[in-house]
Structure 1
C-alpha cells in the first residue's frame, strides 16, 4: 500500500473526476509549482481557496481518514472534505499554473511562470517534468486553434511561435520523455482534429529523439508534424466528421488535404522543403497505394515514413465519430500486418520506443484487478525494470479499490498482465487520471 510521508508517492481522492495528488509540498516545489520557502499560513477552513496547498492540519494526518498527507485544494469538494476533518489548516499559496499559450499566435499575453528556458535539458524525474509537459500540451492546443483561425481569416501564420513550440517539445523529451508522452493518452472524440496534430507532433519528436536525430532534424520533422493536417481546413466539415462510410467523391476531397496543406504553407517564409515534404507525403505508402501522388518505396522520405507511423498510430488509438479507439497493442498488431505499406523496421523501433505497455494503458492482471500503467519513479537492483508499474483501481470483483495502490510488477512477479483494455472499460476513463496527474 502507498505509505504516507513519501515525497514521491501518489494516492487518489474519492472526488470525481479522480485526482492524483503529490503527498508532500517538497515534491511540488521540485516540480516548480511554488518555492520551497513560501510562508505557511494558518487558516480556518472557510478561508481556504482553490489552488492552495495544505501542508498540515490542526491534528495529525494519521488520525484522519484522508488517504494522503499534504494536498492541493482543487475544488469545493476538497474544502468540504477537509471541513469534516479539521477546523484549521496550514497552507502555502499555490496559484493555479498559468499558460503562456502560443502567446503571439493566440494574441494572449505571456504569463511569467517558472519553467525551464529553451534548451534547458538537464534530466528531471517524471513528476518534476509533468507540469512543464502539461503547459506544452495546453499551449500547443491553443497554437493549433490559432493556426486554424489565422488560415480562415487569411492572416499570416506565426511560424516562429510554432518553431519555438517544437523546440520546447524537444527540450521536454530530453529532460524526461515519459512526462510529455503521458499526455498523449488524453483523447477526446469531439476535439479530434486539433488534438491529433498535437499528439502526432509530440509522438514524432519523441520518437525521432529516441532514434538519435539531432536538433535540426527534430525541428524540421516537428514543424512538418505540427502542420501535417493543416490542409484539412479546406475540406468540408460534413466530410471530415461524417460518421458513416465516405463516398468516392468524399474520399477524393479527403485525399486533397496534403496538397492543400502545401499550398497554404508554401507561401510562408520559414518552413523548409523537408517540412513541406512531410506535409505532402505522410499519407503515401511504400506499395504506391497512398495519396495524393501514389509514390512508392524510396520516393517517400524517411521523415514521411516516420510520420506515417505516428499519424496512423494516433488515429487508430483515438475515438472518432465513426469508431472507438483501439488499444496500442492492437494498433501495432494491425500495422505489422501492413507489410507492403509501412516501413516495418521503423515500426519495430517505434514499438520499442513505446514499450509493450505505454504509460496511460489500462490493463487487467491475472488477479482480476484492473489498473493504469504509470511511470516508474524508483529504481533499485531488486526490481526488474523492464516490467511496468500499475496503479490498481479496481479489485478482483471490479469494485473501486480504495485507497488505490501502486504495484510494481518488477518486484511482485506473481502478478502479470493478462490483457490490455480500452479506455472506458469497467467505467474507467483514462482521461480522468491523465488530466489530473500532479
Structure 2
C-alpha cells in the first residue's frame, strides 16, 4: 500500500458524515475506519497532528498514478496535472471551485515531492500545455516556485499547500488581461492599469464567493503586491503578510523567466542576481535563489566545448549539474541529446543562455532517460 497524509485530503472529510476512506496511523494501524464519523474539527485536527495516513488506492484518482509511476512517466503526469489545474483556474466562477482546486493541486504537490529537480524544470521551461492561457501558465510557475521555496524555508505541509493555492489564485481576476499584456507592444492603457491595481481584491472576492474562508490565504492574495516600504498596492500597507511576501518574490522571479512581446526572458543566473540586488539579505530571497541555484534544471547553458546544452538536474556540486548537449559548437542540432559530465575538463559550463539565445528547446519526456543515467 502507498499512503498520503490525511492533511492533504482533509477537504474530502465531511464533519458529522461517514468517512469515505480508512484512516491509519504512521505504523498503518487502523484508526477511524471507512464509514465511521469524524464528529468535529478538533477530532480531525488531532488525527492530522498524529500524522494520520490514507491509502492512495482508496482515493481512486491520479495520485495513485503519481505514486506508482516510473521516473520516465513523470513528465507526462506533470503535463496532465498542470493542464487539470489550468482548467480549474479558468472556471473559477463555477460551482465547487474550491473542491475542484483542492483535488487538482494534490497530485501536483506529490509530483514536486517525488522529484524537485523536475519541478524546477517545469518552471524554467514553462512545460504547461500549449493550450493553456499565458496567465494560467504564469500562475502555475509562481505556484510551483512558492511551494518549493516554502519547503526550503521549513514550512509545514499545510503552510506549503496554502502557498501553492494562494499563488495559483492571486491573479484569478486578471488571467485574460495578463495574456493581452504579454502580447502587447505598447504601454498599458489607463483602464488596464486600473484593472491591474484592482485585481488583488477582485481575486479575493472570487475566492470568497467560492467559499474560501482561510484568512491567511485571503490575506496573501490581497497583499501580494504590497511592499514593506508602503509603495505597493492596493492599500500601500507596510505590515505585509508573510505568505504575501513569498508570493511577491516568486512572481517577480518567474516573471523574469517568461518572455513577452516587448521583453525577452532573461537567463536564470541573471534573474537570481537581480533578486539579490533588489532584495539583499532577505531570507525568502536567499531561499528562492538557493532552491533554483545558478544553473537550475531547464536552463540552457553553453559548455566549454562550445555546445549548447540544457540542465537536467542538480549535480554533486552547484557548479557541476547534469546536462544534455543539444547542439554542437556551430549550432547544428544533434539527432539525440547527449549526456555531458560538467565536472570533466572541456565540458564545464561557460555561460548561461537566455531562452531567446538558446538554439533548441526540449521536452522533459525526451530528456528524462538522460537525467536518470
Cα pair 2:300 2:354 within 8 Å, conserved: yes
Cα pair 2:220 2:247 within 8 Å, conserved: yes
Given candidates 141, 162, 183, the residue that maps to 2:122 is: 183
Q: Does residue 123 of structure 2 align to residue 193 of structure 1?
A: no
- Secondary structure class of the residue paired with 2:108: helix
Partner of 1:366: 304
Give the unaligned 5+ runs of structure 1. 1-111
Q: Does residue 297 of structure 2 align to residue 323 of structure 1?
A: no
- Secondary structure class of the residue paired with 1:324: coil
Cα pair 1:284 1:291 within 8 Å, conserved: yes
Partner of 1:225: 167
Given candidates 410, 413, 416, the residue that maps to 2:348 is: 416
User: Within 2, Cα distance between the matches of 1:418 and 1:163?
Assistant: 43
State TM-score, norm by structure 1: 0.63
Cα pair 2:118 2:297 within 8 Å, conserved: no
User: Within 2, Cα distance between the matches of 1:279 and 1:114?
Assistant: 28
User: Within 1, Cα distance between the matches of 2:334 and 2:178?
Assistant: 46
Cα pair 1:374 1:388 within 8 Å, conserved: yes
Partner of 2:224: 282
Taking only aligned residues, the RMSD between alpha carbons, in angstroms, comes to 3.0
Give the drift of 1:318.
Answer: 0.4
Cα pair 2:299 2:310 within 8 Å, conserved: yes
- Secondary structure class of the residue paired with 2:320: coil
Cα pair 1:126 1:179 within 8 Å, conserved: no
Partner of 1:50: none
Q: Does residue 307 of structure 2 align to residue 307 of structure 1?
A: no
Q: Does residue 373 of structure 2 align to residue 433 of structure 1?
A: no
Bigger helix fraction? 2
Q: Does residue 71 of structure 2 align to residue 132 of structure 1?
A: no
Q: Does residue 200 of structure 2 align to residue 258 of structure 1?
A: yes
The verdict on how the C-alpha distance between 1:176 and 1:319 changes in structure 2, with shifts beyond 3 A counting, is same
Partner of 2:333: 400
Partner of 1:165: 104
State TM-score, norm by structure 2: 0.73
Partner of 2:276: 336
Cα pair 2:72 2:365 within 8 Å, conserved: no
User: Within 2, Cα distance between the matches of 1:249 and 1:372?
Assistant: 41
- Deviation string 1:394-429 (CA, Å, 9 cap, x unpaired) is 12222223443101213x14432121112242532x
Given candidates 215, 218, 228, the residue that maps to 2:157 is: 215
Q: State which structure, 1 or 2, has the greater radius of gyration over its C-alpha atoms.
A: 1
Cα pair 1:189 1:319 within 8 Å, conserved: no
